[in-house]
A = this chain, B = another copy of it.
Amino acid sequence: MSKVDRRILKSQEAIKKAVIELMSEKSFDSITIQEISDRANVHRATIYLHYTDKFDLLDKLIEEYINEMREMNDYVCELDWRDANLVYFEYFERNYLFFSTMLASKGAPSFRTRFLEFLIEEYKAEVDVNEEKNHGLNEEIMGCFMGTAFVGIVEWWISKGMPYPPEVMASQVGILLERVV
């Protein structure tokens, strides 16, 4: 596990930040590599050192957020629903620009799909169909139910400009998810 050269991290950070910013301003299709490198203040060729094209860049960007959330979940899965949700909603708040951009209609529809896929996967592991309470229920369906509900909530919260603080969202959604599971 040799550590990565800080130049790589700095370049990638600048590039990713530039893409998110630009995507919040205009459609992904209309963004050029030229623009990204200008905004990131790196040479155009530098982008090609890290990504094959702008689609690869978007994919890697999305996957990075998904992975971050997965790692958060590994750490957080011992907490109760409320506290676990708090970690998530604070994360959404911290990365508001990314989520508002990616979940916006014009943004990257691929992210919503990927996000939901991730959530279903994680929730599925959380439910126990062997409990008597859940007798006759299907793991897949429960995961999907919770996942779509959660995505919907996050979309609503973000698109409305975060009308409630993360604490409130965490409590409310925590109660509801607990009833379902």
Contacts and interface: CB of A to CB of B under 8 A. Distances in A.
A7 to B, nearest CB: 9
Nearest to A14: B10
Interface in A1-49: 6, 10, 41-43
A55 to B, nearest CB: 26
A42 B41 CA distance: 17
A90 to B, nearest CB: 24
A6 B37 CA distance: 12
A42 B7 CA distance: 9
Judged by DSSP, the binding face of A is loop
Nearest to A7: B7
Nearest to A10: B41
Contacts of A10: 41
A101 to B, nearest CB: 25
Nearest to A9: B41
Interface in A37-66: 41-43
Contact of A43 (B6, B42, B43): B6
Q: Give the 4 A-B CB pairs with smallest separation, nearest first.
A: A6-B41, A10-B41, A6-B43, A6-B42
4 contacts: A6-B41, A6-B42, A6-B43, A10-B41
